[in-house]
Amino acid sequence: MTHFERIAEGIDTSAIRAVLADHPDLWTGKPLPLAARHIECNTRRGDLSVDGKTISGWEGLFLRWPATSADIDHRACEPAIEAIALWARETLCTALRLTGARQVGCVALFSLKASACIPEHADAEVYRDPVSRWHLPIITNPSCWIESGGERVHMAAGDLWWFDHAARHSCGNDGTSDRVHLIIDVISELRSAA
């Protein structure tokens, strides 16, 4: 495979799963007021579009997000990486150590609802060029898949994967339960030095 690489298996994601189970209100789809950010996250849903069509069935819970939405700079995110949600920090640190990351951009949990699909698309240049994308499934089922460059994989819970998000890609959840992945954007050495 040239568009996917499994880096590790069996990473403990129980702390994140426990918080998601205890706080279903985190998945609001609306920006959280500062007073509600005790859990250090922000949410977004429904404004993803592919070829001009709005895609539903997904939601993002951002643990670290761009400081401004007008000009996305993956090196200028809030909260600072040192302050990232305590409940996700151990899992995130394990994943970052395995990727060899020196700089990190956006970090988010993405939920893909049962029977939802994000059709094939290419990421916009601002999301594509400066980063490598890593997926760590937190909650999944055997009917979830990601396809990139014509290759398709199922990512098991606790397995850390790099995937080629610069190629045209899609994902789907053909199962009956929601899928949640921790997605980490690692800033490439060449771009970060520029």
Residues lower than pLDDT 50 in the chain: 33-38, 45-46, 190-194
Question: How big is the CA angle at 40 (ends 122 and 176), to the nearest 5 degrees?
Answer: 55
Q: What is the pLDDT, as a whole number, of residue 36?
A: 47
pLDDT tens-place string over residues 145-186: 999 999 999 999 999 999 999 899 999 999 999 999 999 999
Q: What is the pLDDT, as a whole number, of residue 72?
A: 65
3-state secondary structure 53-112: EECCCEEEEEEEEECCCCCCCCCCEECCHHHCCHHHHHHHHHHHHHHCCCCEEEEEEEEE
Per 3-state DSSP, the chain is made up of helix, strand and coil in percentages (nearest 5) of: 25, 40, 40
Q: What is the pLDDT, as a whole number, of residue 10?
A: 97
Looking at residue 130, the DSSP 8-state letter turns out to be T
SS3 assignment, position 47 = coil
SS3 assignment, position 35 = helix
Residue 41 to residue 6: CA distance in whole angstroms: 27
Instruction: List 162's β-bridge partners, or say none.
Output: 5, 134
Q: What is the pLDDT, as a whole number, of residue 74?
A: 67
Is 0.75 topped by the overall pTM? yes
Q: What is the pLDDT, as a whole number, of residue 128?
A: 67
Q: What is the pLDDT, as a whole number, of residue 144?
A: 98
